[in-house]
Amino acid sequence: KKVLVEINHLKQYFPIKGGILGRTVNHVKAVDDISFNIHEGETLSIVGESGCGKSTTGRALLRLDEPTGGDIHFQDKDVLGLNKRELRKLRKDMQVIFQDPFASLNPRQTVRQILGEALTIQDVIPKEKRTERIQELLDNVGLRSDHIDRYPHEFSGGQRQRIGIARALAVEPKLIICDEAVSALDVSIQAQVLNLLKKLQHQYKLTYLFISHDLGVVRHISDRVMVMYLGKIVEIADKKSLFDNPQHPYTKALLSAIPVPNQKEKKERILLTGDVPSPINPPQGCRFHTRCPFVVETCRSKEPELRFTGEGHQAACHLVASGNY
Ligand code: SF4
């Protein structure tokens, strides 16, 4: 499949200031040397507990935060080398939908103004065609086009998220980063919004990077899934392969925690003890070793590499690599 985004050795460290002089005394290693691709037309999900680096990765792609290291290519463009003007142009191709649409929509603007602004900034549509285009966008996301002059507070949470989606769509992007985009919604509304995202993907040939802590949601929407732990990729695979045949102990633990209806065999539950360690001084060797039920001596000193374990399936674990597990 054609690669839309290529990420190599991406690092995102946030400085921690301390002392009287406010010098940088340490760093939070939010994302620590990860490489992966996003294919055209797919939905790649990133899952993991909070603090694993999934949202930071999304923000780095958009350069909402400047990455500490690595490189990002969008089609053939070197994203980190772009100047401000070029970056504005790129933002037309890469849009984001956040968890809380209420926070990201200006309460004093009507839907017409919100979507109109998106169209003006990107300069994609002549003024006289704007109303027509806004109504078309509303229709596409399942909102009534005669609600064009309403304010965000006059809509429900699910409807507000649809406005957020319409705003992202307004500039005809290629990639949409959905950062916990349905996490704040009720389960029944979640399903409707996920189905809408799928419909729009098909209609506009969109690519999604879907960031979520919820494996149920990820299972519904993804083509491929990437699991992160403490700033590292621990496993990446096609959805079916990941859910049916997880390799990494952390993925197994995450999956064993979600109930599967009508399952014949009872799943073995892998309980994780302890909290996620601090990303300021992550554990040596395998970062998961402080919580891994299968830890062996090597894990404490040597960092496992991400290796292929099957077609399109990669995991970073010494036991998986040695076949002893
Ligand atoms: Fe567990 Fe070791 Fe594998 Fe890390 S490398 S996941 S500690 S078995």
Residue 88 has pLDDT above 90, yes or no: no
Residue 261 is predicted with a pLDDT of 63
Distance separating alpha carbons of residues 322 and 147, to the nearest angstrom = 60
Candidate ranges 18-27, 159-168, 271-280; pick with highest mean pLDDT: 159-168
Q: Among the listed ranges 64-68, 97-101, 224-228, which one has the minimum average pLDDT value? A: 97-101
Instruction: Output the CA angle 16-12-86, nearest 5 degrees.
Output: 120
Give the residue with greater pLDDT, 21 vs 6.
Answer: 6
Looking up tokens 């990133």, which residue turns up? 46
Confidence of residue 123 (pLDDT cuts 50, 70, 90): low
Looking up tokens 């290291």, which residue turns up? 69
Residue of the CA atom closest to atom 3 of ligand 1: 317
Residue 237 is predicted with a pLDDT of 98
Cβ–ligand 1 distance for 286 under 6 Å, the answer: yes
Residue 25 is predicted with a pLDDT of 87
Residue 59 is predicted with a pLDDT of 94
Cβ–ligand 1 distance for 152 under 6 Å, the answer: no
Q: Among the listed ranges 32-41, 105-114, 115-124, 309-318, which one has the minimum average pLDDT value? A: 115-124
Give strand ranges (E) for 143-244.
175-179, 207-212, 224-229, 232-238
Pick from 70, 62, 99, 48: nearest CA to 226: 48
Residue 184 has pLDDT above 90, yes or no: no
Mean pLDDT of 52-61: 95
Residue 254: Cβ within 10 Å count: 23
Reduced 3-state DSSP string for 46-95: EECCCCCCHHHHHHHHCCCCCCCEEEEEECCEEHHHCCHHHHHHHHHHEE
Confidence of residue 133 (pLDDT cuts 50, 70, 90): very high
- For a ligand 1 pocket test, name from 286, 297, 307, 309 the mutation site with the most ligand atoms within 8 angstroms of its C-beta: 286
Looking up tokens 């002549």, which residue turns up? 126
How many residues are present in the chain? 325
Q: Which amino acid is at 189?
A: I
CB-based contact 39:51 (threshold 8 Å): no
Residue of the CA atom closest to atom 7 of ligand 1: 289
Q: For residue 293, what are the CA distances in angstroms to 215, 252, 271, 278?
A: 21, 11, 8, 19
Confidence of residue 241 (pLDDT cuts 50, 70, 90): very high
- For a ligand 1 pocket test, name from 228, 270, 294 the mutation site with the most ligand atoms within 8 angstroms of its C-beta: 294
Residue 320 has pLDDT above 80, yes or no: yes
Mean pLDDT of 30-53: 96
Residue 321 is predicted with a pLDDT of 76
Confidence of residue 100 (pLDDT cuts 50, 70, 90): confident
- For the stretch 274-284, pLDDT in tens is 888 999 999 99
Residue 129 is predicted with a pLDDT of 87
Q: Which residues pair with 227 in a beta bridge?
A: 47, 235
Residue 21 is predicted with a pLDDT of 84
Share of the chain above pLDDT 90, in %: 76
CB-based contact 111:149 (threshold 8 Å): yes
What's the mean per-residue pLDDT of the chain?
A: 92
- For the stretch 210-238, pLDDT in tens is 999 999 999 999 999 999 999 999 999 99
Distance separating alpha carbons of residues 244 and 252, to the nearest angstrom = 10
Mean pLDDT of 169-189: 93
CB-based contact 315:325 (threshold 8 Å): no
Cβ–ligand 1 distance for 294 under 6 Å, the answer: yes
Residue 262 is predicted with a pLDDT of 61
Q: Among the listed ranges 8-17, 30-39, 121-130, which one has the minimum average pLDDT value? A: 121-130
Q: Which strand (E) or helix (H) includes residue 137?
A: helix 130-140
CA atoms within 13 A on the CB side of 311: 1
Residue of the CA atom closest to atom 6 of ligand 1: 317
Confidence of residue 93 (pLDDT cuts 50, 70, 90): very high
Residue 258 has pLDDT above 80, yes or no: no
Mean pLDDT of 235-264: 88
